[in-house]
Amino acid sequence: MGYRSLQECVRDLERHRHLVRIDAEIDPNLEAAEIQRRVYAAGGPAVLFANVKDCRFPMVSNLFGTIERTRFLFRDSLEAVRHLVELKIDPAELARRPLRYLDLPRTLWSMWIRRTRTGPVLQNETTIDQLPQLKCWPDDGGAFITLPQVYTEHPDRPGFKNSNLGMYRVQLSGNQYVPNREIGLHYQIHRSIGVHHAAAIQRGEKLKVNIFVGGPPAMTLSAVMPLPEGLSELLFAAALGRRPVRMITSRDPQLGSRLPIYADADFCIAGTIDPSRTKLEGPFGDHLGYYSLQHEFPVLEVERVYHRNNAIWPFTVVGRPPQEDTSFGEIIHEITGPIIPTVIAGVKAVHAVDAAGVHPLLLAIGSERYVPYATTRSPQELLTTANAILGQGQLSLAKYLFIIAGEDAPQLQIHDLAAYFRHVLERVDWRNDLHFQTRTTIDTLDYSGSGFNQGSKVVIAAAGPPRRRLGTELPADLLLPPGFRSPRIAMPGVLAVESSETSVSIPEADAAAFASLATSFPLIVVVDDSDFAARSLNNWLWVTFTRSNPAADIHGIGEFTHQKHWGCTGSLVIDARIKPHH
């Protein structure tokens, strides 16, 4: 819906019984986050914390807590935005089905940026220590903003056209930050703010930054949209919010960094990043389900902190999925999913798996059309497609990319994870279908690799008819080698076992004990707790793909290297235990 403010959104949710108000005092230090986790897990409503301890600003959480409520927030615009995506894919659809696109003029009319000299966000000023000091996990390094909208412009080409609105972690207190004067800005690799920062460093000047908090929910969603560089998040927010985005562009020196300020935000922190300065940021519990440690990150030198009358501070909790941000992924897929095949030839669908921490695991459905006359099928076009996928922005952070040929199972849905893995494991040939990239970049928050931002990738491509029937019961005569114990079936064809061995590379002398498993259990995952890993599909996904680095932790029964290609003749073994360096 085209909300004018977060206050209007809150009133609308409360009127439709999508929000509850808590008047009892709530502590932003751990307590608010724990309430949010429990409400989200129960599929509950949005929550307005009207009485925040040691803070005069109310807080609201769980706005996007269910996909149904997320759709409700944008109920007047979601279909129109989808229509825009459809026309980008095929403009001729407008001529073929003009009645379907009757909402197009209204949407296009709203897609602009309205310059203004003032706005509600400038009604008051405050300081960083007066903002809600939200802390989500006991070992967090300090208070931080969980739903920031970080606005920057390219120093070489300033203006809205080359701006970026992104969601990056902002630490408000703790560590060595000077209170009220410095805050931490943590952004990961492959983020557009990095391009702006690099340009500022090259120019030898400070990078101007405005951090918006609150405002209509369209801006929050736009900040997490994976839009291509050069495509304005502000225009997308205008389409989704059904009204132009108002930006204050006055050059009054009293406006701090003098970057445009989002007029309808609840808060704005204006400041600059000195290219020559960094400080330790963190640790923080993060979306992979672990703490990200302290690292040197840019320091934002705070110039002004603004807020509107009756400002509300929106927040969420970052932690092991699923959490509230799961809804972001779902709605993003609904809006942009159809456009993926137009960007990468041969791709039918791509899915970053939320339960595995998003970036560690990527599933894809492609095509295998290179030799349609062949009597036997093997991945060929799939490998070309996989390379293209790993060259696309944030998709390039994937550690594990599974890709299958859509022609082998036309009805398979990529979000049916159990069916997808069953399809792969029935067909994969471990002698040929593993393709590694070593010493490359992975997610900044992923500590399974060899260093900060460093790790490896593997493409697992499967095509052709099934080659095995997957096991669903443990063999009665199963005898594991010394050091392996507690086998559990995690899913058809997947065995989870525990081990206390330093290495799980299977010596040839012990390989015979696993030989009988190769036919029915092509994948063995070595874990710390096999009962936990096998208890649910989400547990298995989280353990397997967040705790392993492909090049270091993939082993195999009967493994070999031929012309620098690695494979194995028996079951694949993934060491998904927590390692000392994690």
Q: What is the mean pLDDT of the chain?
A: 91
Are 174 and 141 a contacting pair, CB within 8 Å? Answer: yes
* Residue-level pLDDT at 94: 81
Which of 37-41, 110-114, 249-253 is least confident?
A: 249-253
Which of 27-36, 327-336, 502-511, 526-535 is least confident?
A: 502-511
What's the pLDDT band for 304 if we cut at 50, 70, 90? very high
Q: Calculate ∠ Cα 85-190-290, nearest 5°.
A: 105
* Residue-level pLDDT at 190: 66
* Residue-level pLDDT at 582: 83
Distance CA 279, CA 182 (A): 10
Q: Which position has the higher pLDDT, 265 or 394?
A: 265
Distance CA 247, CA 216 (A): 13
* Residue-level pLDDT at 346: 87
Closest CA to 358 of 443, 417, 422: 443
User: What residues have CB less than 8 Å from 466, skipping those under 6 apart?
Assistant: 426, 427
Amino acid at 451: G
Which of 105-109, 215-219, 288-292, 403-407 is least confident?
A: 105-109
pLDDT in tens, 524-559: 999 999 999 999 999 999 999 999 999 999 999 989
Say if residue 302's pLDDT is above 90. Answer: yes
Which of 136-145, 189-198, 203-212, 394-403 is least confident?
A: 189-198
Integer angstrom CA distances of residue 303 from 151, 187, 273, 417 = 15, 20, 11, 48
What's the pLDDT band for 251 if we cut at 50, 70, 90? low
Q: Where are the beta strands (DSSP E) in 160-244?
A: 163-166, 169-171, 182-186, 207-213
What's the pLDDT band for 298 if we cut at 50, 70, 90? very high
In the predicted model, what is the mean pLDDT of residues 178-182?
Answer: 97
In the predicted model, what is the mean pLDDT of residues 102-126?
Answer: 90
Which of 112-121, 174-183, 399-408, 440-449 is least confident?
A: 440-449
What's the pLDDT band for 511 if we cut at 50, 70, 90? low
Cα dihedral sign, 547-550-552-557: positive
* R_g over Cα of the chain: 25
SS (H, E, C) 141-169: CCCEECCEEEEEECCCCCCHHHEEEECCE
Closest CA to 407 of 438, 356, 457, 371: 371
In the predicted model, what is the mean pLDDT of residues 377-398?
Answer: 88
pLDDT in tens, 486-501: 999 999 999 999 998 8
CB atoms within 10 A of CB 411: 7
Amino acid at 419: A
What's the pLDDT band for 513 if we cut at 50, 70, 90? low
Distance CA 3, CA 242 (A): 8
Cα dihedral sign, 341-345-347-348: positive
* Residue-level pLDDT at 252: 59
Q: Taking the C-alpha atoms of 195, 186, 305 and 142 in order, what is their torsion angle to the nearest 10 degrees?
A: 180
In the predicted model, what is the mean pLDDT of residues 182-203?
Answer: 86
Cα dihedral sign, 529-455-399-518: negative
Q: What are residue 273's phi and psi, to 5 degrees?
A: -105, 125
What's the pLDDT band for 99 if we cut at 50, 70, 90? confident
Which of 63-67, 328-332, 418-422, 543-547 is least confident?
A: 328-332
